Amino acid sequence: MDIVKVFVGLDYHMDSVQVCVLDEAGKMRCNRSVPNDAGVIFQIAQAYGAVQAAALEACCGAANLAEELVAKGWSVSLAHTGYVARMKQNPDKTDYGDARLLADLLRVGYLPKVWLAPDRLRRLRRLVRHRQDFVDQRRDIKLRIRALLRENRIKSPVGMSPWTKAWLAWLETEAPLQEEDRWMLENHLMMLKLTGEQISRTEEQLERWSADDAVIQKLRTMPGVGLVTATTLRAEVGHFDRFQRGKQLAKFCGVTPQNASSGSRQADAGLIQTGNPQLRRVVVELAHRLINRGPERWCQLAGKLLKNGKKKNVVVSAIANRWVRWLHHQMQPEALSI
């Protein structure tokens, strides 16, 4: 008797998982809700045939379940949530339908997959993004302080740069504010100090984490690359050799031009809107450093582009793009020698 080959779609929830099993012809063998337990899911799906592959959407906790199923011998893929939603083209949303869609896309080879990062890199990714949350909070606090000063039409003393120790001391003791605004300012300054301390503590954790990581140490030897840039690249990219070409890595980082051509009209529309926002941020910041005080290679390229009439933001994007493509070559296994 021939063994039936089946494909499994999993709609993940914290307490339960909707399991849909389809055979090669697309016939549904099972579609039911089960407890969120890898052993239970494995037993139910295996009862209907030989599982060829399984898929679930990338969300919080999904990677852990995927790893548990991989350990049991399954081939498990994480699906890109946004692409799956657009491919569905149906206003109705049910666990039953979502699980079936994943199984069907997997069966016909149309599943939009994302990389399943190892647990170690996922932990680093959470730490890097935790730091970025504090950085975003610090930016918002600074914006509130500046808005408070504008509301009272208070200008900084001549020759005093904002956010220096001297400027903060003037702000805390001498800025002419009303009682209510002074109270709010004190709260903002307290939060600004606490946020800065949290950022420092998180960076200490990143230093400890990266001490024995050869890839991060290699990245930090490159001009302009510090702790935050190196750990972000390591966390978000993971393994550089999973990209076949530097252009693919640049697109993943969101630093390639967006094409807006139609017929005979050929045009660019800035940087692509897709890509990893964490990577785009650190790579663009790195490009600014390379232009201002980096190696002669990047300074000369930036100068040449500026001389040709390119705008500064276009030059920065071009340097970021070229650097990422160069980085891809530098971070291949044969170049790392680790």
Half-sphere exposure of 321 (CA within 13 A, CB side): 19
175 and 222: one domain? no
**What does the pLDDT read at residue 338?**
44
**Are residues 332 and 289 located together in one domain of the fold?**
yes
CB neighbours (10 Å) of residue 222?
A: 19
Distance CA 162, CA 266 (A): 44
pLDDT for 157 = 87
Which amino acid type is present at position 46? Q
Q: How many CB atoms lie within 10 A of CB 311?
A: 10
Question: According to the model, what pLDDT value does residue 1 have?
Answer: 42
192 and 251 assigned to the same domain: no
- One domain for residues 219 and 207: no
> In angstroms, rounded to a whole number, what is the distance separating the alpha carbons of residues 287 and 290?
5
Do 156 and 170 lie in one domain? The reply is yes
Say whether both 243 and 328 belong to one domain. yes
Domain finish residue from 195, 212, 229? 212
Round the CA-based radius of gyration of the chain to a whole number and report it. Answer: 25
Residues 56 and 104 reside in one and the same domain:
yes
Say how many CA atoms lie within 13 Å of 243 toward its Cβ: 23
Per-residue confidence (pLDDT) for residue 16, from 0 to 100: 95
* Domain-terminating residue out of 96, 114, 132: 114
Distance CA 22, CA 5 (A): 9
Question: Is residue 328 located within the same domain as residue 220?
Answer: yes
277-293 vs 227-237: helix crossing angle, rounded to 10? 140
Q: What are the per-10-residue average pLDDT scores of the chain (338 residues)?
A: 84 95 94 95 94 94 94 94 86 90 95 93 95 97 95 88 91 89 94 97 95 93 95 95 93 85 67 86 95 91 92 92 95 64
Angle, vertex CA 78, rays to CA 82 and CA 209, nearest 5: 105
Asked if 48 and 130 sit in the same domain, the reply is no
| pLDDT score, position 190 | 96
- For residues 107 and 125, state if they share a domain: no
Expressed as residue numbers, the domain containing 75 is 5-114
Helix-strand-coil split of the chain, %, nearest 5: 60, 15, 30
How many domains, in total, are found in the chain?
3
Whether residues 198 and 255 share a domain: the answer is no
- Are 225 and 322 contained in the same domain? yes
| Domain end call among 212, 245, 264 | 212
User: Other CB atoms closer than 10 Å to residue 8's CB: what's the count?
Assistant: 31
